[in-house]
């Protein structure tokens, strides 16, 4: 039997991307298709989504819902993978310029609860027959935007619809989709769903909690994060619920799409290179990055790169405190990102204080992000917490050694260049344990020390580039979760 899976999410690369969620939703369905799963995706009808799909055609008229006017279901194809994508056409909700979640003043849209309730509701409608030509065995909801999908499946079941299994994947527990309790009535769910054992969360409605409570299985994006979210420190108020579901939770490490993130095929970097011979190609990428960012052209300077949202979660406040240590040792720092105004200002001030050694570009630029990953010697991901992290996986592929805090997926994917790990041929980067200035500075010092030992440095770079975090392993692990739901 071919297993049919419907992924419900707010974004998907290359159609629309604001973060790592889009990379996962763009890469997992094609990897699943390779294994024989019929994996499809349902997305809100944002302008970028509609513009990027081929062969868009009407599927069903879903009627009026959530005050969005007449809702239509359409279906298209995302090339070159050939993944079928359903689109929720509700232009009053989704046809807005700019960011999919926020208005021009960077405030979340006041109707986000209804905009994303519609996404979950539509996923459940597809699961219960809205497309006469296809029905999924499993609805796979991603993050809070799709968190109500499992709840609507349960509600439809009450009205006589057949049971359809659901999986909820948590990409980041910190983003929960909470709304005032007064909005519950607009969600078109049974009244008793607003309860502690349901959507209610400290007097609010939580879309993520709905998914965690009503889904048949829960996955998260690394084994360590799956354990961390069941603790008070990392559970974001949901650890109690997650502890009761501990046997339903699986940590599956995200993968890398090596057709996009590999220095041997990457068209957007200054020079391609391979794991077998990274040397001159990587040096050219470094020189090009130094020139592009206005840094001193110096192949011997240890170049640290950052591609990140500038938030405290990402540990960028800690990095700022360590900038003098990098510069004093002759190192350089390149930062690409946008986020908290205080951190943006701090980064700009660091660049002004250290011209030629620190360069900052505020914003997001996909091409420049590839250039930084390829041109840096070290890529820094000093997150306070990190569900999986993709940046360190990209860095490994490009032989740019990751420097990370030992949490979540960072702990699962990077081996510290300790003397023991170097001796046992295990080291792939630098890992610090305590989230403080002494911790990160210690890792920075180890990076400089390793760079001074050329033979060891080259061996670690080669080992980093030899790591395989392709999507096939993740696709197989998800297949196992699905199988557990569908039985033999």
Give phi and psi for 437, each to the nearest 5: -60, -40
Residues in the chain: 488
Is 161:128 a contact under the CB 8 Å cutoff? yes
**β-pairing verdict for 4-8 and 138-142:** parallel
CA distance 229 to 385: 10
- Of 412, 442, 447, whose CA–CA distance to 429 is shortest? 447
Binding-site entries for ADP-alpha-D-glucose:
17
Mention every residue, 6+ apart, whose C-beta is less than 8 A from residue 25.
7, 9, 11, 12, 13, 41, 142
Binding-site entries:
17
Q: What is the full DSSP assignment across 4-25?
A: EEEEE-S-BTTTB-SSHHHHHH
Task: Report in angstroms the alpha-carbon separations of 63 from 89, 127, 354.
Answer: 11, 17, 59
CA distance 278 to 466: 12
CA distance 469 to 6: 24
As given in the structure block, the two tokens for residue 2 are: 């071919």
């Amino acid at each position: 039997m071919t297993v049919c899976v419907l992924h419900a999410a707010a974004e998907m690369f290359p159609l629309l991307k604001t973060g790592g969620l889009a990379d996962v939703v763009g890469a997992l369905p094609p990897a699943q298709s390779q294994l024989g799963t019929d994996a499809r995706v349902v997305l809100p009808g944002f302008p970028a989504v509609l513009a990027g799909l081929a062969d868009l055609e009407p599927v069903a008229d879903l009627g009026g819902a959530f005050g969005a006017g007449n809702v239509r279901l359409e279906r298209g194809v995302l090339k070159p993978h050939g993944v079928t994508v359903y689109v929720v056409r509700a232009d009053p909700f989704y046809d807005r310029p700019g960011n999919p979640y926020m208005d021009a003043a960077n405030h979340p849209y006041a109707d986000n609860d209804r905009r994303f309730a519609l996404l979950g509701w539509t996923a459940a409608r597809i699961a219960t027959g809205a497309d006469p030509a296809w029905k999924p065995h499993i609805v796979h909801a991603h993050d809070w935007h799709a968190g109500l999908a499992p709840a609507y499946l349960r509600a439809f079941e009450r009205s006589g619809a057949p049971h359809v299994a659901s999986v909820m994947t948590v990409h980041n527990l910190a983003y929960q989709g909470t709304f005032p309790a007064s909005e519950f009535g607009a969600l078109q769910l049974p009244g008793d769903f607003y309860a502690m054992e349901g959507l209610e969360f400290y007097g609010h409605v939580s879309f993520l909690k709905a998914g965690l409570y009503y889904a048949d299985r829960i996955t998260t994006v690394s084994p360590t994060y799956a354990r961390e979210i069941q603790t008070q420190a990392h559970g974001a108020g949901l650890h109690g619920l997650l502890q009761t579901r501990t046997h339903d939770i699986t940590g599956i490490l995200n993968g890398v799409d090596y057709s996009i993130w590999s220095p041997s095929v990457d068209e957007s970097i200054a020079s391609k290179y391979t794991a077998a011979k990274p040397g001159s190609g990587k040096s050219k990428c470094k020189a090009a990055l130094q020139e592009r960012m206005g840094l001193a052209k110096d192949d011997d300077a240890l170049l640290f790169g950052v591609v990140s949202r500038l938030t405290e979660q990402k540990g960028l406040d800690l990095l700022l405190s360590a900038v003098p240590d990098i510069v004093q040792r002759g190192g350089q720092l390149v930062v690409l990102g946008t986020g908290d105004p205080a951190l943006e200002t701090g980064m700009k001030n660091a660049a002004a204080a250290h011209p030629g050694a620190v360069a900052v570009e505020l914003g997001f630029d996909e091409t420049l992000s590839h250039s930084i990953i390829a041109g840096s010697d070290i890529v820094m991901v000093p997150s306070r917490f990190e569900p999986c992290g993709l940046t360190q996986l990209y860095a490994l592929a490009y032989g740019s050694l990751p420097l990370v805090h030992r949490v979540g997926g960072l702990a699962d994917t990077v081996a510290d260049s300790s003397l023991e790990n170097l001796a046992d041929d295990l080291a792939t980067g630098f890992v610090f344990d305590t989230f403080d200035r002494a911790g990160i500075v210690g890792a920075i010092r180890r990076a400089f020390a390793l760079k001074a030992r050329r033979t060891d440095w080259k061996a670690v770079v080669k080992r980093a580039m030899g790591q395989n975090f392709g999507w096939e392993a993740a696709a197989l692990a998800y297949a196992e979760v699905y199988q557990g739901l569908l039985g033999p």
